Structure 1
Amino acid sequence: MTHRVGYAPGVYDLFHVGHLNILRHARSRCDYLVAGVVSDEMARQAKGRSPVVPLTERLEIVRSIRFVDAAFVETVPDKLETWRQVRFDVIFKGDDWRGTEKGEKLERDFAGVGVEVVYFPYTVHTSSTLLRRALDGLVESA
């Protein structure tokens, strides 16, 4: 019997139902789920701004989700380097990556080491970006 390890990376800032859905769906497709929580520095590099919720708190929230077996702090942008550290069989991403340059690179890189890339529906009506805009609006009007 094969033990299938899954990896679900994300910033997981302003944790919301979209995050929960990805983790729930990911866990249903593997035997052991590792959530990769992107460091504050990596989030700044990727998104141009720091997360609202600090890494230690995001890590604690994600570790507490029943679908997650382990949480890993992602500190390098190269997903293959992360794979060398975690050794997963499948990586889960939102389908907003499908068909993009970064998604195609991910697929090429992981095909070389036998890792499957699985996309899940992106939660369009709720995102950390939308929540952050709402918070910014509240602060500006206060």
Structure 2
Amino acid sequence: MKRIITFGTFDVFHVGHVNILKRARDLGDQLIVGISSDALNYSKKQRYPIYSQEDRVEIISSLRFVDEVFIEESLEKKLDYIKNNQADVLVMGDDWEGKFDWVKTQCDVVYLPRTPSISTTEIIEIVRKIK
């Protein structure tokens, strides 16, 4: 059985999220998703997500192609999360190309192209301008 792991914030859920998660799942038998905690997201982006981590876990858990979900508390624990979940492949968006090659001693790493012309940041900016 091939276990795939991926990570993300998955805030303001959109078709780009669906696409990358489906493609990640197609690479194996089980998909495990680490969702950035609210605190981790703030430390990365200097803003809290629109949706709470509990809501984001509920959204991602409800997808039929996602098998397990957990909260990612720290970027420094990526290798621990991979080992603890016995992942065979780490999947990330190609905007992270090369940044996770250091885990290749533990598992394969695949960078998938992002869906063009859609991002959570852009959606949030558009909504802010409408107000």
1:55 is the counterpart of 2:40: no
Question: What TM-score results when the alignment is normalised by the length of structure 2?
Answer: 0.94
Deviation >6 Å, runs of 4+? none
> Are the equivalent residues in 2 in contact too, given 1:76–1:82 (CA < 8 A)?
no
Partner of 2:32: 34
How much identity, in percent, do the aligned residues show?
35
Distance 1:63 1:27 in 2: 14
Distance 1:7 1:136 in 2: 33
Partner of 2:93: 94
Distance 2:96 2:38 in 1: 21
Long gaps (5+) in structure 1:
none
Long gaps (5+) in structure 2:
none
Partner secondary structure for residue 68 of structure 1: coil
Partner of 1:4: 2
Alignment length, in residue pairs? 130
> Are the equivalent residues in 2 in contact too, given 1:40–1:54 (CA < 8 A)?
yes
1:117 is the counterpart of 2:115: no
What do the CA deviations read for 1:40-78 (whole angstroms, capped 9, x no partner)?
Answer: 001011111110011111100000011101111111112
For the pair shown, which has the larger CA radius of gyration, 1 or 2? 1
| Equivalent residue letter for 1:17 | V
Distance 2:12 2:81 in 1: 23
1:127 is the counterpart of 2:119: yes
Question: What TM-score results when the alignment is normalised by the length of structure 1?
Answer: 0.87
**1:20 to partner: Cα distance:** 0.3
Distance 1:22 1:125 in 2: 14
> Are the equivalent residues in 2 in contact too, given 1:12–1:19 (CA < 8 A)?
yes
